[in-house]
Each structure stands twice: as C-alpha cells, then as structure tokens.
A = this chain, B = another copy of it.
Amino acid sequence: MSAVKKKRAVVLVSGGLDSATCLAIAGDRGFECYALSFDYGQRASSELIAARRLAETAGVLEHKVIELNMGAIGGSALTDTDISIPEQESEGIPVTYVPARNTVFLSYALAWAEVLNANAIFIGVNALDYSGYPDCRPEYIEAFQTLINLATKVGVEGSVISLETPLIDLTKAEIIKTGVGLSVDYGLTVSCYQADSEGRACGQCDSCRFRVSGFETAEVEDPTRYQ
C-alpha cells in the first residue's frame, strides 16, 4: 500500500455529455473523484439515472445526489412547467436558463470539497456551445475561484481548492473526441432538456442540436437514442 495521499476532486455530474467527459478527465489527471449531482426538479429525471450510471462506471469513491427545491424559486423552462421549452434557436439568454444554477451547484461543491479536504472542483462548463448562460463564462469562473479563496476555512489557512473547467475552451466536437480517447461511453449520457423516461432524446432542443452536430463534426458515431 502506498502512503502517498491521492489528490481528491469533487466533480459535478449532471448525466450529460460534458460532465461525463469532465469526470473522465479528472480521473485521468489522477484525482480520486467524488461525484455530485442535483435533483432540482428538472423535467428530465432520466438525467439523474444517467448520472448514477456514469458515476458508477467511472468508479467514483462516493456519489451524492442533493435534492434542491429550485422549483420553489421558479423562473426557468427547465424547472417551471408553465414555461415551454423552445424548439427554435433563441436570441440572447434562453428561457431554459435556471437562475443562479451554477452558483448554487458550485456552492454545494465547495461545501463538500471543504469537508473532504479536496484539492479541486471540476465542472464541465463550456464557453463556446454555452447556450448563452452567463454562468458558463470564463470571467464567471474566475470570480468563483476568487470567492473560494476567500470563503473557506482552508483558503484562509493558505490551501487552495482549485476550480477546474477542462472543457471551457473546447468545441462540442473536441469534447467528444477527448472523451472517446478516455473511453467515455456516451451511450450512458443524456443531454436532452426533455428526454423521455427511457432517456431517449427529443432531437429538437438547443442541447440536442449542439450534441448532434458535435458528433457529426467529430466524425464519431452518435450513440444517442432518439424518441
């Protein structure tokens, strides 16, 4: 048995293509991974089933699913059933934006990272195919890193919890190629905003369109099951 302490990372795993790749990258970089998912009243609960399978397949040390009642706050087509999900390209910030979602997710990741004495938090945000969400931009991530350094007991005592965004500059096709190189099984992932209970995608929403064209550009066979 080695006495060397392995680096630990909390990895946000939504069940989608990006977070599956992010989890594989964290493992490949030598981190012991702790997967964190959220049940936030998202319509696509098949996402969570996918997250569980991905975490298990990746051999994470622990997988926590935190129940969030984002529906109580409302304001997004992803959690509010009074707002319909658009099938056409939208301008500006789309109605599928969930208010402060990444801020809430990263806050929990930070709490858990602090308890675990983790060295890093991995999140699969992407600034290119980002659907216009403000909390996927590099300047947002930098601001959260600053917050981490000031917010935490470990930060005050001189350690660092590094916020890692390995996908931030990659195109969807580059993400897919990276994941294929790390043996990610994209058949396990669900990206669709309105996947059915079997995890089959609609093929129409923003998220599906990015994914379809990503596989095409990467020249990788698309394992997605459509409705």
Chain A residues packing against B (C-beta within 8 Å): 64, 66-67, 69-70, 72-75, 93, 97-104, 106-108, 110-112, 114-115, 134-135, 137, 139-140, 143-144, 146-147, 150-153, 155-157
Structural contact, A153 and B93, CB atoms closer than 8 A: yes
As for how many copies of this chain the complex holds, the number is 2
Complex Cα distance A99/B134, Å? 26
Structural contact, A114 and B134, CB atoms closer than 8 A: no
A sample of 22 cross-chain residue pairs with beta-carbon separation below 8 angstroms, ordered by A number, consists of A64-B72, A66-B69, A73-B112, A74-B115, A98-B111, A99-B111, A99-B114, A99-B153, A103-B111, A103-B147, A103-B151, A104-B104, A104-B107, A107-B107, A134-B150, A134-B152, A135-B152, A139-B150, A143-B146, A143-B147, A146-B146, A147-B147
CB A55 to nearest CB in B, in angstroms, measures 16
CB A113 to nearest CB in B, in angstroms, measures 8
Structural contact, A100 and B150, CB atoms closer than 8 A: no
Additional pairs, 17, CB under 8 Å, beyond known A75-B111, A134-B151, A143-B150 = A67-B67, A73-B111, A75-B115, A97-B153, A99-B114, A100-B110, A100-B111, A102-B151, A103-B147, A106-B107, A134-B152, A134-B153, A134-B156, A135-B150, A135-B152, A140-B147, A146-B146
Complex interface: chain B residues within 8 A of A111 (CB):
70, 73, 75, 98-101, 103-104
Structural contact, B72 and A100, CB atoms closer than 8 A: no
CB A90 to nearest CB in B, in angstroms, measures 13
CB A103 to nearest CB in B, in angstroms, measures 4
Structural contact, A135 and B108, CB atoms closer than 8 A: no
Complex interface: chain B residues within 8 A of A69 (CB):
66-67
CB A115 to nearest CB in B, in angstroms, measures 4
Complex interface: chain B residues within 8 A of A150 (CB):
134-135, 137, 139-140, 143
CB A15 to nearest CB in B, in angstroms, measures 19
Structural contact, A110 and B115, CB atoms closer than 8 A: no
Chain B, Cβ-Cβ closest to A93: B153
Complex Cα distance A125/B51, Å? 37
* Of the residues B66, B103, B139, contact of A110 by C-beta under 8 Å: B103
Complex Cα distance A108/B98, Å? 12
